[in-house]
Amino acid sequence: MQIELKTIKKHQKAFIRCKGPYGEAASVYSDLFRYAAENKLQIVGPVTEIYLNNPYEIPEGELLIEVQFPVVNI
């Protein structure tokens, strides 16, 4: 295995946090796409999902997830 470095364009991240079952997080993707379009932002990389608590310790309705898209101004 070889480790490599990549230079990426400086960017910000548009993100949204949602509460509830992980399966319901998919609905926020369209909100992020719409936000990017309305604010003249271009999505420049893959989505990142960050799980903010542990599903083994928290009831399903209390789960928190942050969905992020890297963006740049158009």
pTM of the model: 0.81
Per-residue pLDDT of the chain (74 residues; tens, 9 = 90+): 999 988 777 889 999 999 999 888 888 999 999 999 999 999 999 999 999 999 999 999 999 999 999 999 99
Degrees, nearest 5: CA angle 19-21-26: 85
Domain boundaries, the chain: 12-73
Measure the CA–CA gap between 68 and 59, rounded to whole angstroms.
Answer: 23
Superfamily of domain 12-73 in CATH is Regulatory factor, effector binding domain (3.20.80.10)
Spatial CA neighbour of 49 closest among 6, 8, 3, 24: 24
Give the DSSP H/E element, type plus range, for residue 67. strand 64-73
